[in-house]
Structure 1
Amino acid sequence: MGSSIVLGILWHFVGAASAACFYAPLKKVRNWSWETMWSLAGLFSWIILPWTVSWILLPDFGAYYSSFSLSTLTPIFLFGAMWGIGNINYGLTMRYLGMSMGIGIAIGITLIVGTLMTPIIQGKFSVLTSTTGGQITLLGVFIALVGVGIVSYAGLLKEREMGIRTEEFNLKKGLVLAVFCGIFSAGMSFAMDAAIPMHQAAAGLGISPLYVALPSYVVIMGGGAIINLAYCFIRLATRKDLSVRADFSLAKSLLFANACFAILGGVMWYLQFFFYAWGHANIPAQYSFVSWMLHMSAYVLCGGIVGLLLKEWVGVSRKPVSRLCLGGLVIILAANVVGLGMAS
C-alpha cells in the first residue's frame, strides 16, 4: 500500500475524530435553545472559517470566485444545500429513533449512497466491477457497512441495558427521516465531485494539493448554511417557547462561556472537512469516491472510541462493549481492504 494512500486514510480518520468530538463542547452550553447554539456554531463552521481560510489561501479572493460561471457554481451550491438538509434530518432521526438505531441507519445509507452514486453518475462503476482493484475496493465498502452495523448494534444493546429510551420514539417517522438523512447527507460527497473544476483552478494558482479543495467550501458550506440557519431562525421567530432575547439575557460570564463552547464546537465541525480535504488529496483520482466511505465509517469508529474515553460505557456488560470493539476492528479492516484495492 503506497505511503500516499496510507496518509489519505490517516487524515480521513483525523477528520472523523474531530467530527466525533465536536458535540462535546456543545454539551457544555447552558440555558440556551438548541437553535441559538447551533446557529452560532454554524456561523463559524459554515461561513467564517471557510471564508477566512480561503482568503488566506487565494492570491485574489474575488477574482477566483468570479472566474467561475453560474453553471459551475450552482450544482456545487445545491449539493451543499442538499447536505444541509441532511444535517437537519440527522438531528430529527436521533429524536425519533434514538442514537444507536438512528446512527446505524442514517450513516449506513449515506455511506452507500455517497460512495457508490458518484462512480455511477460518472459512468465509471463498470471499472470497479471489472478490475481486481475495483472489486477489492467494493469489498472494503461492504465490510465498512458491516462494521457500521455492528457498532450500531452495540449501541442499541447499551441503550437497552441502561434503560435509555427516546421520549418521542416513532419507528415509521424515524425510518423515513433516516432514509432522507442518509440520501441528503451524501450531498457533500456529490458537491466535492462537482467542485473538481474549483480544485483544479486552485491548483493552477500554485496552492498545495492538500488545500485545493478548501476554497470550494465557501460555496458548498454556503448552501448548507442557508438551509440550517434558515431552519433555526424560522423556529426562533415562530416558536413561542423559544426566545433569542431570553438566550442573551443571561449573566455575562455564562454568555461568554456559552459562546466559547459553541464556537469551539463549530471549529471542530469545520476541522473534520479541513482534514477531509487532506485525506481526499492523497486518494488516487480514480478512487476519489472512496473518501466518503472512509470518512463516514471512521466517524462511527471514532464516535465509539470517544464514548469509551468519556466513560459513557461504564456499567455496561461485556457483550455490548465486545460488539463495539468488534465493529471497530471490522471498520479498521475495511479501511485496509480499501487501501489494498486502491493500490492494486
Structure 2
Amino acid sequence: MNNAILAGILWHLVGAASAACFYAPFKKVRHWSWETMWSVGGFMSWLILPAVVSVILLPDFWAYYRSFTLSQLMPVFLFGAMWGVGNVNYGLTMRYLGMSMGIGIAIGITLVVGTLMTPLLQGRFVELFSSTGGRLTLLGVLVALVGVAIVSRAGLMKERVLGINAQEFSLKKGLVLAVLCGIFSAGMSFAMDAAKPMHDAAAALGINPLYTALPSYVVIMGGGALVNLAYCFIRLALKPELSLKADLSVAKPLLISNLLFALLGGTMWYLQFFFYAWGHARIPAQYDFVSWMLHMSLYVLCGGIVGLLLKEWKAVGRRPIGVLSLGCVVIIIAANIVGLGMAS
C-alpha cells in the first residue's frame, strides 16, 4: 500500500472521527427544541463554512460559480438535496428502530448503494471483476458491511442489557425509513461524482489537490440545507409545542451557551466532509467510489471507539464489548483490504 493511499484512508478516518463526535456538543444544548438546535448547527455546517472556505480558496468566488451552466450545477444540487432527505430520515429511523438497529440498517444500505452504484452507473462495475485490484476492493466493501453488521449487533446487545428502547418502536415504519435513509444518504457520494467538473475547474485555478472538492460543497450542502432547514422551519411553524421565539427567549447566558454548542456541533459536522475531501483526493481515480465506503465504515468504527472512551459500555458486560471489538477489527481489516486492492 503506497503512502498516498494510506494517507487517503487516514484522512477518511479523521473525517469519520469528527462525524462520530459531532453530536456531543449538541447534547450540551438545554431548553431548546431539536429543530432550533439543528437549524443553528446546520447554518454553520451547510451554509456558512462551505462559503467561507470557498471565499478563502477561490481567486474570484462569483466568477468560479458563474463559469458553470445550470445543467452542470443542478445535478450536484439535487444530489445534495437527496443527501439532505437522508439526513432527515436518519433521525426518524432512530426514533422507530433505536440507535443500533437503525444505524446498522441505514448505514449498511447507504454503504452499499453509495459505493457500488457509482461504478454501476458509469459502466465500470463489470471491469472491477477483471482485475485483482478490483476484486480485492469489492471484497473489502463486503467485509466492511459484515463489520458494520457486527458492530450494530453489539449495539443491540448493549441496548437490551441497559433496557434502552426506541421512542416509538415500530418495525414496519422503521424499516421503511431505514431503507429510505440508506438510499437517500448515498446522495453525497453521487453529488461528489457529479461535481467532478467543479473539482477540475478548481484544480485549473491552481488550488491544492487536497482542496479542489471543497468549493463544490457550496452547491452540494446548499441542496442539503434546503431540505433540512425547510423540515425544521415547517415543524417550528406548525407544531404548537414548538416555538423558535420561546427557544431564543431563554436567559442570556443559556442562549449564548446554546448558540456556541450548536455552532460547534455544526462545525464538527462540516469537518467530516472537509477531511472526506482530503481523503478522496488521495484515492486513485479508478477507485474513487470507495471513498464513501471508507467514510461510512470508519464512521461506525469511530462511533464504537468513542462510546468505549465515554464509558457508555461500562455496565453492559464483557460479551457485548467483545462483539463490538470484533466488529471494529473487521472494519479495520476491510479498510486494509480496500487499500491493498487500490495499490494492486
**2:312 maps to 1:312:** yes
**In structure 2, how many angstroms separate the alpha carbons of the residues matched to 1:330 and 1:204?**
40
Q: Which string of whole-angstrom CA distances, capped at 9 and with x for unpartnered residues, describes residues 14-50 of structure 1?
A: 0000000000000000000000000000000000000
In structure 1, the residue matched to 2:270 is 270
In structure 2, the residue matched to 1:185 is 185
Displacement of 1:126 in angstroms is 1.1
In structure 2, the residue matched to 1:134 is 134
**In structure 2, how many angstroms separate the alpha carbons of the residues matched to 1:167 and 1:321?**
24
**2:15 maps to 1:39:** no
Runs of 4+ in 1 over 3 A off after TM superposition: none
In structure 2, the residue matched to 1:160 is 160
Amino acid at match of 2:249: S
Displacement of 1:249 in angstroms is 1.1
**2:108 maps to 1:144:** no
In structure 1, the residue matched to 2:222 is 222
192-201 or 241-250, which deviates more: 241-250
Task: Determine helix, strand or coil for the equivalent of 1:168.
Answer: coil
**2:61 maps to 1:61:** yes
**In structure 2, how many angstroms separate the alpha carbons of the residues matched to 1:169 and 1:289?**
34
Amino acid at match of 2:283: I
Amino acid at match of 1:261: F
Amino acid at match of 1:80: G
Count of paired positions: 344
In structure 1, the residue matched to 2:234 is 234
In structure 1, the residue matched to 2:196 is 196
**In structure 2, how many angstroms separate the alpha carbons of the residues matched to 1:192 and 1:84?**
14
Q: Which string of whole-angstrom CA distances, capped at 9 and with x for unpartnered residues, describes residues 141-175 of structure 1?
A: 00000000000000000000011111300000000
Q: Which string of whole-angstrom CA distances, capped at 9 and with x for unpartnered residues, describes residues 53-72 of structure 1?
A: 00000000000000000110
**In structure 2, how many angstroms separate the alpha carbons of the residues matched to 1:283 and 1:332?**
17
TM-score, with normalisation over the residues of structure 2? Answer: 1.00
Displacement of 1:129 in angstroms is 1.2
Which aligned pairs between 1:18-29 and structure 2 lie closer than 5 A?
Answer: 18-29=18-29
In structure 2, the residue matched to 1:258 is 258
Which aligned pairs between 1:35-114 and structure 2 lie closer than 5 A?
Answer: 35-114=35-114
Displacement of 1:293 in angstroms is 0.1
**In structure 2, how many angstroms separate the alpha carbons of the residues matched to 1:128 and 1:256?**
52
**In structure 2, how many angstroms separate the alpha carbons of the residues matched to 1:127 and 1:264?**
43
Displacement of 1:130 in angstroms is 1.3
TM-score, with normalisation over the residues of structure 1? Answer: 1.00
Displacement of 1:258 in angstroms is 0.3
Displacement of 1:119 in angstroms is 0.1
**In structure 1, how many angstroms separate the alpha carbons of the residues matched to 2:252 and 2:321?**
42
Q: Which string of whole-angstrom CA distances, capped at 9 and with x for unpartnered residues, describes residues 188-226 of structure 1?
A: 000000000000000000000000000000000000000
Amino acid at match of 1:17: A
**In structure 2, how many angstroms separate the alpha carbons of the residues matched to 1:309 and 1:319?**
17
Amino acid at match of 1:279: G
Unaligned residue ranges in structure 1 (runs of 5+): none
